[in-house]
Structure 1
Amino acid sequence: MLPCRFLVLLGTRLHRAGGFCQDHFISEIPVTISPKRLTVGVPDLAAVHKTIEERLRAGIDAMTRAERQLASHLLHHYPVAALGSITALAKGAEVSSPTVVRLVQKLGFSGYTDFQGGIRSEVEERLISPLAKHDRWAGGVPDTHILNRFADAVLRNLHATLAQIDHAEFDAAAALMADSARKVYATGGRITHAMAEYFVTHMKVIRPGVSLISDMSNAWPPALIEMVPGDVLLAFDIRRYENNVLQLVEMAAEQGAEVVLITDPWVSPAAAHARYRFSAQIEVPSAWDSTVAIQVLVETLMAAVQSLTWQQTETRMKRLEELYARARFFRRAK
């Protein structure tokens, strides 16, 4: 383990060489780098909260055969399978009712009723509106400035997001996007489409064959007809999950595309069609969810792809700079 420290800079820009504007907010936080995880330490940070789905996935290796069978059924039909009776769940998973009870107790619940209460709470979190989020955050607001409250929440989100990313899956997703034999597409919802556009703008510099798919359904068929098995679709979908994203992901999967999904802790329904899924923490003291942790994942993915393709990317970037210079796109230094 290699301890080190770095500065996290929120809402700032460089003011002059060697210093920052006095009004800007800077937070110094400790970092621990290990072969498997990058964790960002935040003072007084509570343990990372896991959704029921995350707990199921994390504990599946320690389960009995019957419990794994039940867990697989729950994950495949999550969360609908858990909203019926214990008898219906046991029958659907082809296990006994006592197996259901044992599994939910292993997940930390006192019984099936308690387990269902947790499921319903998570479903409510998925569907929460901006107005409801505002009302929840407005109650019991601590007596600190909004800059500090918001920054604290963002840092907690970043810590929790990085702590639960599987490095092997992340590397595999980056390798898919770096493969020049595959075309790469990106799409998102009403808010997250901006993340998809940001990703595509930078990836076009790194490699050829990258396209943004509009969130307007009349633009899908021309894009989908070009997809072949093995192409990659990066999709963004956070609560309140959008039917357009789900439908496009379903159609892309039918074309044989490898779907990489970036979502939130409550997990978009599009995850059922994703080969790789990364969940980012998004809650902040606002009516709106934060996309800062998502932005970190996107920029890290791009950096990973660039590293894998640097020999080709360097040549491409040099030629691109020549074209920009010829077009006089950027202002010249005086």
Structure 2
Amino acid sequence: MRVDLSLPGRVEAVYADLGPAERHIADLLLQDPLGLATTTTTELAAGSGSSKATVSRFFRRLGFDSFAEARASVRDLRTSGVPIGSRSGRDGLWARHRAAEERNLRRTAEAVPEELLAAVGAVVADARDVLVLGFRNSYPVALHLREQLVQARPRVQLAPLPGQSLAEELAALGPGDVALTVGFRRRPAAFGEVVRACAGTGADVVLLADPGVRRLRLPVTHRLEVPVDGVGAFDSYAAAHTVVCLLAEAVLERRGAAGRERVLRLAARAEELGELEAR
């Protein structure tokens, strides 16, 4: 089944031919089309003052085999990263958000144990050059990762930059280098090819992504799986940034005296240039 993004369009196309009861259902969907992901036939029937049979008949008129198929199509959008809000209101938002983040962190700790962090930290710390790649939603995480790593070691680059050719950056990779690829859901279609191209250079490839990336079966040296499930319309990257922090810490620890000296040297230069606020 192909995911359909135009539920309001489907409703509007048949709206003039609907009976009074079906129009009540249509009005509810037009007010909150993506809320279908979190409701049931019983709730929709009660909210529109109609029957479950009427609800089922309505969705068949929209071209779905059943209400369940229509709801599944909207849920598929959310799991792929499309922002879908909840109809449950804002009550208890902080409590629900905190619970979701605690679940994400527990799952992350299981998928990314300390031994794995230490192994990746060693690979990154000992590499000749490090290239951090991120696209779309992953770009801010990649940028933050680069900014943390450059505190501990030199020769850390970010791609793609504005006006930059990605092919030129990948051509510079080779054995002894590391490509840190950040690929959370709603990845560009070519993401898998980019990762495969990185692996083809002989560089070690570290993948930081959500568990859904498994279906791509990418040739990586290490994979750090981090859930980004949120309680509202948008994904949450709190756990992802936690992994960035811990990975940078592992790299700094591996670098030892050289890493600590670099941190102090960068701090002194920033103070000399007056780049940061006074302590």
Aligned runs of 1:134-149 on 2, under 5 Å?
Answer: 134=85, 137-138=86-87, 141=88, 144-149=91-96
Percent identical among aligned pairs is 25
Q: Kindly report which structure 2 residues correspond to 1:167-316, keeping only aligned pairs within 5 A, or say none.
A: 167-179=114-126, 181-214=127-160, 218-267=164-213, 271-316=217-262
Q: 2:104, 2:228 within 8 Å by CA — same for their partners in 1?
A: yes
Larger relative helix fraction: 2
Distance 1:153 1:210 in 2: 33
Shift in CA distance, 216/330, structure 1 to aligned 2, threshold 3 Å: closer
Larger strand share, 1 or 2: 1
Provide the secondary structure at the position in 1 that maps to 2:143.
helix
Q: Which structure has the larger Rg?
A: 2
Indicate conservation of the 8 Å contact 1:232/1:260, yes or no: yes
Contact 2:136–2:187 (CA under 8 A) maintained in structure 1 = no
Structure 2, gaps ≥5 residues long: 1-71
Is the contact between residue 193 and residue 215 of structure 1 (CA under 8 Å) also seen in structure 2?
Answer: no
2: distance between equivalents of 1:169 and 1:125?
A: 32
Distance 1:196 1:203 in 2: 10
Aligned match of 1:128 in 80, 84, 87? 80
d(CA) in 1 for partners of 2:217, 2:121: 18
> 1:160: Cα distance to partner?
1.5
> How far 1:244 moved relative to its partner?
3.9
Equivalent-residue separation in structure 2 for 1:164 and 1:266 (angstroms): 13
Q: CA deviation at 1:222?
A: 2.3
What is the one-letter code of the residue matched to 1:249?
V
**Which residues in structure 2 correspond to 1:44-193 (within 5 Å)?**
124=76, 128-131=80-83, 133-134=84-85, 137-138=86-87, 141=88, 144-179=91-126, 181-193=127-139
**Residues 126 and 266 in structure 1, CA contact (< 8 A), matched pair in contact too:** no
For normalisation by structure 2, the TM-score amounts to 0.66
Provide the C-alpha distance between the structure 2 equivalents of 1:205 and 1:305, rounded to a whole number of angstroms.
10
Greater RCO, 1 or 2 (C-alpha within 8 Å, sep 6+): 2
CA contact (8 A) 1:245 1:270 kept: no
The Cα offsets for residues 293-313 of structure 1, whole Å up to 9 and x where unpaired, read as 111111100001111112001
- In 2, distance between residues paired with 1:162 and 1:313? 26
Q: How many residues align?
A: 207
Letter in 2 for 1:161: T
Q: Equivalents in 1 of 2:258, 2:186: separation in Å? A: 39
Structure 1 position 328 matched with structure 2 position 274 = yes
How many angstroms does 1:240 deviate by?
Answer: 2.2
Aligned-residue RMSD, C-alpha: 2.6
CA contact (8 A) 1:187 1:215 kept: no
- Residue 125 and residue 297 in structure 1: after superposition, are their counterparts in 2 closer, same or farther (change >3 A)? farther
Q: Report the secondary structure of 2:197's partner residue.
A: helix
SS of 1:309's equivalent in the other structure is helix
Q: Note the residue ranges of structure 1 that are not aligned, 5 or more in a row.
A: 1-119
3-state DSSP of counterpart to 2:249: helix
Secondary structure of 1:172's match? helix
